[in-house]
């Protein structure tokens, strides 16, 4: 724990959705949901307007559509988000050589190592300057947390959302954390929180008063000791630069233990997709796929598989994780699942973009759920202002939200396609909301296009 709040945590605000709103004037101020649009699709990011309807990340897309039927539903543009992320990470790199990316839109920075801050005033100034630079460079907003530890810096950035800065002065940790729910501590998910609640431990103060021995009795040695230290505000984890990363992983703790084998398999597949998004965000690929399963009795099992070569392909990671699940007995229930990739290696930027774009095209076909022109596709197109994507017989895929250019009308983006037609809204990031026009899917004047920069003179999705 540092004596000065020189650890910074940046979290971009509703990143994927905000990037889409910034590039599409007609969607600004409106609910936008980005994710897989197929029957097994999951929400990657929801705009703050969509969150008011209860939509959140990791939610099944079908549930999101029920909650916010009039939202715009778009397929992710990973190369575009990656280009913006590169710009943001470059700004962080100007503050310090120690930048630890967690994903495309989130990172820790050691301001002390960069010599830009050694007390609260200088740390706040660096954080405010960073927020201004992000807005000027990308047109987007990010929330900043500053504290003497990574745990508290992340808590501070959550408090700062959206588009704010919160600084936690060292020495105030106990006062700040005490009345909060135990769930505020990293690693305490719904199931563990409920387990503690049954033991009469609800707040962080309750954790401290229970004592380390009691927590070890309830949760086991490693988990109980860690929770006790975190509740006291003790977190000495250093900021680790990207080049030092050894693995990338994601995990979810469930409110109720999972028993249905199919549901467990689907959760593992979703975690694999999220893990690959984080893997790509860090600019890595990896050879070893790891599955983590915490069972109903808090016993934790891990299984791993090493591939012949490194990958950042979501299909490869998903299938490997599925094979590993077959090796695990889930009888009795599962409270936590995790998927990770280790044995990391760097990809060149060109290789990364080529893979991302190839996968986007593949996803566009998968999300169609079958050939275009069915009654179901037509009904969906009629019911939604931004219909689901469809794959046409021409072989060209018109994914909802992706960029196009027309020989006569210029730049635009796909609102939807089906029954042999594609609907396009023609507008640019710096224009007024544009008009909508519909074309045959094989119109020779309509072609897929690279994204336009959000800020005049900025980088595009292909160039960054």
Q: Which of 106, 173, 267, 366 is catalytic?
A: 106
**Alpha helix locations (H) across 251-374?**
261-281, 314-325, 349-367
Q: What is the C-alpha separation between 174 and 46, in angstroms, rounded?
A: 33
Report d(CA 428, CA 410) in Å as an integer. Answer: 9
Helix axes 212-219, 221-231, angle to 10 degrees: 140
* Residues making up the chain, counted from first to last: 464
Tokens of 101: 């990316």
106 is annotated as an active-site residue: yes
Distances (CA, A) of 184 to 131, 157, 192, 203: 25, 12, 12, 9
Q: Are 445 and 129 in contact (CB under 8 A)?
A: no
Under 8 Å between Cβ of 258 and 268 = no
Q: Look-up: residue for tokens 């979501």?
A: 314
R_g (Cα) of the chain, nearest Å: 23
Q: Which residues lie closer than 8 Å to 24 by C-beta, 6 or more apart?
A: 401, 413, 425, 427, 429
Task: Say which residue the tokens 């895929």 belong to.
Answer: 397
Residue with tokens 């202002």: 385
Label residue 226 left, alpha or beta by phi (over 0 means left) and psi (-120 to 50 means alpha).
alpha
Long-range contacts of 299-305 (CB under 8 A, 24+ apart): 300/336, 301/328, 303/327, 303/328, 304/342
Give the N- to C-terminal CA distance of the chain in Å, as an integer.
37
Distance in angstroms (rounded) separating the CA atoms of residues 373 and 126:
54
Distance from C-alpha of 117 to C-alpha of 111, rounded to nearest angstrom: 6
Residues involved in catalysis? 106
């Amino acid at each position: 724990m540092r004596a000065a709040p020189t650890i910074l945590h940046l979290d971009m605000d509703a990143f994927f959705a905000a990037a889409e709103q910034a590039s599409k004037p007609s969607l600004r101020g409106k609910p936008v949901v980005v994710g897989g649009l197929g029957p097994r699709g999951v929400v990657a990011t929801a705009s703050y307007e969509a969150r008011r309807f209860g939509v959140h990340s990791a939610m099944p897309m079908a549930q999101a559509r029920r909650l916010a039927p009039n939202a715009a539903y778009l397929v992710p543009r990973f190369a575009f988000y990656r280009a913006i992320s590169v710009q943001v990470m470059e700004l962080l790199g100007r503050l310090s050589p120690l930048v630890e990316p967690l994903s495309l839109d989130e990172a820790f920075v050691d301001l002390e190592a960069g010599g830009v801050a050694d007390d609260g005033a200088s740390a706040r100034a660096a954080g405010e300057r960073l927020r201004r630079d992000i807005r000027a460079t990308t047109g987007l907003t990010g929330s900043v947390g500053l504290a003497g530890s990574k745990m508290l810096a992340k808590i501070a950035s959550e408090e700062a959302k959206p588009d704010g800065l919160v600084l936690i002065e060292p020495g105030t940790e106990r006062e700040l954390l005490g009345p909060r729910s135990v769930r505020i501590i990293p690693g305490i998910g719904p199931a563990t929180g409920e387990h503690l609640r049954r033991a009469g431990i609800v707040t962080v103060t309750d954790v401290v008063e229970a004592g380390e021995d009691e927590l070890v009795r309830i949760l086991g040695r490693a988990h109980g000791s860690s929770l006790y230290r975190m509740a006291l505000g003790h977190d000495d984890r250093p900021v680790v630069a990207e080049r030092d990363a050894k693995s990338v992983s994601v995990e979810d703790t469930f409110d109720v233990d999972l028993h249905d084998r199919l549901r467990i398999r689907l959760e593992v597949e979703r975690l694999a997709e999220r893990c690959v998004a984080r893997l790509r965000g860090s600019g890595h690929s990896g050879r070893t796929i790891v599955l983590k399963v915490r069972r109903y009795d808090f016993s934790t099992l891990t299984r791993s598989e090493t591939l012949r070569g490194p990958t950042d392909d979501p299909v490869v990671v998903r299938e490997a994780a599925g094979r590993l699940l077959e090796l695990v007995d889930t009888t009795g229930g599962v409270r936590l699942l995790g998927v990770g990739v280790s044995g990391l290696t760097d990809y060149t930027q060109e290789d990364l973009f080529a893979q991302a774009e190839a996968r986007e095209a593949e996803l566009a076909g998968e999300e169609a759920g079958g050939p275009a022109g069915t009654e179901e596709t037509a009904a969906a197109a009629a019911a939604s202002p931004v219909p689901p994507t469809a794959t046409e017989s021409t072989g060209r895929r018109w994914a909802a939200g992706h960029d196009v250019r027309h020989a006569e009308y210029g730049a635009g983006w796909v609102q939807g396609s089906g029954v042999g037609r594609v609907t396009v809204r023609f507008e640019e990031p710096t224009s007024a909301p544009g008009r909508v026009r519909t074309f045959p899917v094989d119109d020779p004047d309509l072609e897929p296009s690279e994204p336009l920069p959000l800020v005049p003179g900025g980088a595009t999705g292909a160039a960054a």
